[in-house]
Structure 1
Amino acid sequence: MTQNSGQPGAPNVVVVSTMKDEGAYILDWISHYKSIGVSDFVIFTNECSDPTDHILRCLHRMGVIEHRFSRVVRRGPHKSALMWAEYEPKVINADWVLVIDVDEYLQINSGDGTLPGLLAERADADAVSFVWRIFGNSGVTTVDHPPVPQAFVQAEPAVGRPDEHRFFKTAFRKNGKFARMGVHRPYLAETGGGVNWQLADGTRLPEDELEGALYVRGNYGYSAAQLNHYALRSRDGFLNKKARGRANHFTSSIEPSYWHKFDRNEEEDRRLADNFSAALQIKEDLLQDATLREYHEMAQVWHRRRGRKARISKDGQELLKSLVETRKMA
């Protein structure tokens, strides 16, 4: 397994994530990030109905991740988890921290192909942001599909419109310049001093815009890396996601507008799909643990059955009908 970059002195990167009912997707995601050199994971869960907790407890036992059951407060599941993550030893002792979700796969397009290697090249940076590239549904209906990066290869254009902005997620250095982590970016410390904040290709973000920056326009840094965002996945997977609810909001629901926003299929990008063999080997190595394999297979069954049930339900049928109708009106 790839544990770190081949570069001498490559930094230690800790991924922080929060999950709920994501059991069908966990091992591909973990294996991918291990394949690009992530050394540690701290993952929080709350109120899971599928085998997510069991899978993560197995990985915790195996020393692959740190799993925590999150106590959710008023700020919501995701932000609550990030608050608790600040106390984690892995986070405290990290060189870099990256907050990332299970539907986001970082695609390294340069250097040695690892995240520590890329960050080593950004030696003068305090933070490096990776810009979303949205991948659509590609007409996939059920959750019986290959790993997400191989099943969904249609994306929004790599070159955006002049007036278009794209959101990012951010790896930041633990050097005292940031007060705490956030969903998309860290919060600046009051005494942090000048902050050198870059995109993956080294483009520096203007210092006078750093206080609240969540997105960029024009250059996205894709020549070095892009953050593939698979917000929809399959149709049944989307119905399961709607039933689960959103990670950042107690009351906000997933409506047809969400589907249309993220169903981007204009250009094919197979680079990650065609370079996923290292991740698949790591996944197979992990599955040598019999208990983990059992829960992984249980998760596949759970998501297939739940997706089928959601699809034939009254709410599911109404949503699918509305997707067609609102598409026609667009």
Structure 2
Amino acid sequence: MRITAVTCVKNEGPFLLEWIAFNRLIGVTDFLFYSNDCSDGTDHLLDALADRGLVRHLPNPAQGRNYQMEALKDARRQDIVAEADWVWIADVDEFLNINTGDHTIPALITACGEPQAISATFQFFANNGVEAFADTPVISQFTRSHNPDLWCGEFAIEVKTLVRRDFPLQYFGAHRPFFKGNLAADRRPRWTDGSGRDVPHRFLVAANPRRIRRFPAQGARNFATLNHYALRSLDSYLVKNDRGDVNRENRAFDDTYWRERNDSGHTDTSIHRYLPALETALAELRRDPEIDALHRDCVARHIARRDTLLKRPEYRDMRDQLRNANALPPQEEALISSLGLAS
């Protein structure tokens, strides 16, 4: 089975090898990376990996600001995507944690009944007081998240989607694929959640544009959940804030984004089942002297950028604000206040 992962990156160098090694463990066979405006060596490391046939690396084709959607439009034309049996579109801070069979994507597909699409629900992992960047697997460092069925007062949570080759595709979205609105009902794809249940009808047909990326999370994770390490360490979050993201150039994340994703009420270490094999796979990648050197350079630049940012008073203030931020998500804080329960 050929499974292609497609992702967009900007200054993700320290995290590339872990994400590639992890996805290879769960069954990804091919990688298509689009990069833009990298200053931490991400592009150099990807080029070296591409030279060895481990990934394909292309410059992001976007001419404006919509980096991810332009890349996905281009990806559809690439043979590495067109010839794949399945396509997995995800970011480098997202890890598909599979709870069935041998914990691989083929096992997930079997458990879900061989559908044409599978949407896995996000589970946002908190920073939980980790300040310093460490060059160790992200999945080993962060073990606390929100209640998996409830995030910021919402029962519906966003998803990312595996797409089979015969899906009646109109276009790829970052979170889900789309088919034409006038597609006959008997030609609509079989599409499940991470428990093998059919996705809700309104999600399937994108009936409500405000909810086309999410559906109720309760009961949706029996076979897989999507661990999202959006914050990582405080050091890395400051660098991420400086970088912006692949969707909108120079986007600044305020403390609302941080607080919404820093709910540490639930402990989940189930992804650690992959750690022994992941550490072996990482060591194998880094036995190549050039790959190891380029990875170390990315790490050094990441740390140097943090140091540069902390010379600026606005970033010192941001660091202090995040250190002292209310541990409750804004929505929960507002609810408690409205009920008159605030101390």
- Same structural fold, with TM-score higher than 0.5 when normalized by the shorter chain: yes
Structural mapping, 1:144-293, within 5 Å? 144-160=134-150, 163-189=154-180, 190-191=182-183, 193-212=187-206, 213-250=212-249, 252-293=251-292
The letter for the 1-side match of 2:122 is W
Which range moved further: 145-154 or 247-256?
Answer: 247-256
CA 1:62–1:145 in 2, change beyond 3 Å: closer, same or farther? closer
Match of 2:18?
Answer: 28
For 1:285 and 1:271, the matched residues in 2 are separated by 24
Match of 1:55?
Answer: 45
In the alignment, structure 1 residue 302 sits paired with structure 2 residue 301: yes
Cα offset for 1:146? 2.2
For 1:326 and 1:118, the matched residues in 2 are separated by 38
Q: Which runs of 5+ in 2 are unaligned?
A: 207-211, 334-343
Instruction: Tell me the TM-score normalized by structure 2.
Output: 0.88
For 2:217 and 2:33, the matched residues in 1 are separated by 33
Instruction: Work out the percentage of aligned pairs sharing the same amino acid.
Output: 28
Match of 2:76?
Answer: 86
For 1:208 and 1:16, the matched residues in 2 are separated by 26
Question: 1:234-290: CA deviations, max 9, x gaps?
Answer: 001000000000221236421111111111211111121353111221111111211
Kept after mapping to 1: 8 A contact 2:193/2:220: yes
Which range moved further: 314-323 or 164-173?
Answer: 314-323
Instruction: Tell me the TM-score normalized by structure 1.
Output: 0.91
Count of residue pairs brought into register by the alignment: 320
Kept after mapping to 1: 8 A contact 2:242/2:250: no
Cα offset for 1:208? 4.0
SS in structure 2 at match of 1:91:
helix
Kept after mapping to 2: 8 A contact 1:111/1:117: yes
Match of 1:19?
Answer: 9
The letter for the 2-side match of 1:310 is L
For 1:79 and 1:40, the matched residues in 2 are separated by 20
For 2:118 and 2:167, the matched residues in 1 are separated by 15
Kept after mapping to 1: 8 A contact 2:10/2:245: no
The letter for the 2-side match of 1:261 is E
Kept after mapping to 1: 8 A contact 2:200/2:215: no
Cα offset for 1:300? 1.1
CA 1:246–1:116 in 2, change beyond 3 Å: closer, same or farther? same
For 2:49 and 2:296, the matched residues in 1 are separated by 15
CA 1:264–1:289 in 2, change beyond 3 Å: closer, same or farther? same
CA 1:200–1:280 in 2, change beyond 3 Å: closer, same or farther? same
The letter for the 2-side match of 1:201 is S
In the alignment, structure 1 residue 43 sits paired with structure 2 residue 33: yes
Question: 1:112-160: CA deviations, max 9, x gaps?
Answer: 2101221133344111001000101021111125210001111111332
For 1:324 and 1:280, the matched residues in 2 are separated by 31
1:143 to 133, 157, 167: 133
Match of 2:336?
Answer: none
CA 1:303–1:156 in 2, change beyond 3 Å: closer, same or farther? same
For 1:45 and 1:117, the matched residues in 2 are separated by 31
The letter for the 2-side match of 1:85 is A
For 2:321 and 2:171, the matched residues in 1 are separated by 40
